[in-house]
Amino acid sequence: MIAACQFGLTVAIVAVAEATPRVVIVGSGFELPDALRRPDDVPPHRDALPWAPFDAGRWHTLQDGVRGIAEDGTGLNLRYVEQLYTFGDRWRDPHELFGGARSLVVSYLALVREAPLGGAAGAVWRELYDYFPWEDWRAERPAVIDHVILPSLRRWVERTADDSLRARRRERKRLAFGLDGSAWDGERVLERYELMHEAGLVVEAFRDRELRRRAGIAEPAAVGDTEIPRALGRPMARDGRRILATALQRLRGKLKYRPIVFELLPATFTLHQLLRVVEALSGTRLHKQNFRRLIIAGGLVEPTGELVNQTGGRPAELHRFRLAAIHERTSTGGIASAAD
């Protein structure tokens, strides 16, 4: 007999406003069954990505569905949309633990220019790095890496008595966080989050284990430390942070070879605005002059001949994206690789 399965769509809607990357968040709506609640329970995690079951009668394609979900729940009309990954792990949706159908969801990334939100889902904009504070290196190396994450991972590595497993864990930590001579790789967003989840360093790892225990489902050996470092980002309902990490990883990778960043900018912009948007998404500071040379040499933008006044400086020239650049065999030179 085939178990019941619910097929849905979810979307990470990303914008950049004032050099701050943001994501659209809605409420999750999950509640523990009354019989399993305790007086000391903390409220369920409410932050979720826009989601809905796929309505086959209403939507001709999956992308139609994603656009419909966004418009219904947030009031936004999506422009750039691309499919990310299908998530279908057992118990990824807590409703399954308490008699609900197994959940299978196809995730998408959408890029928009920030606008007021409406719709029926109570959507709000939240800062993306609230969920991944270790990913924002624009000011400096985040202190949480050295003060919390690496010491906790070190204990997790050494906890196992299996020499082979210990070596694999140590290598994963080295690659994920750029240790022992390896460089920090901004595109390993999902790898870092999943390593931290497996090690029990994020709240979701303990929350999901506790929900399975209450549902009477046998548990494997305990994960992570007994005390959760609460500074490790804002939790999300279900596997929302895993999906959002996938979206940020995809976005950072595409910054290097596709001009998708222009979906986040107005029709005309200064090169300084463009620089700040790329920095916001890559989580790093870029060399201003190198960046300018790469953008112009790559033929991605052209000047409009108009100037705009800047606070405390001389007027800056406005540019626009060269649509023809998509069809030309040009190289951006690595739009997100002009590191300082």
CA quadruple 134, 128, 53, 212: dihedral positive or negative? positive
Buried b (16+ CB within 10 A) or exposed e, 111-131: bbebeebebebebebeebbeb
Specify whether the CB–CB gap between 67 and 80 falls below 8 A.
Answer: no
- Using CB atoms within 10 Å of the CB of residue 156, give its burial: 0 to 12 exposed, 13 to 18 middle, 19+ buried: buried
Q: Pick the closest to residue 23 from 32, 34, 11 (CA basis).
A: 11
Whole-number Cα distances in Å, 247 to 12, 20, 78, 148, 222: 7, 16, 16, 25, 29
What DSSP string runs through 219-258? --S--S-SS--TTS----STTHHHHHHHHHHHHHHHTTTS
Is the backbone of residue 179 left (phi > 0), alpha (psi -120 to 50) or beta? beta
Specify whether the CB–CB gap between 189 and 68 falls below 8 A.
Answer: no
Q: Name the residue with tokens 């305990």.
A: 222
Q: Pick the closest to residue 24 from 97, 86, 113, 103 (CA basis).
A: 113
Domains, the chain, ordered by start? 1-128 (3.90.79.10), 132-233 (no CATH), 256-326 (1.10.10.10)
pLDDT 10s digit of each residue in the chain, 340 long?
446 899 999 999 999 999 999 999 999 988 888 877 878 776 778 899 999 999 999 999 999 999 999 999 999 999 899 999 999 999 899 889 888 899 999 999 999 999 999 988 789 999 999 999 999 999 999 999 999 999 999 999 999 999 999 999 999 999 999 999 999 999 999 999 999 999 999 999 988 888 888 888 866 555 554 455 556 999 999 999 999 999 999 999 999 888 899 999 999 999 999 999 999 999 999 999 999 998 888 888 999 999 988 766 788 899 999 887 766 544 444 566 665 5
DSSP-derived secondary structure letter, 194: H
| pTM beyond 0.85, yes or no | yes
Specify whether the CB–CB gap between 270 and 299 falls below 8 A.
Answer: no
Residue 227 carries which side chain, given as an amino acid letter?
E
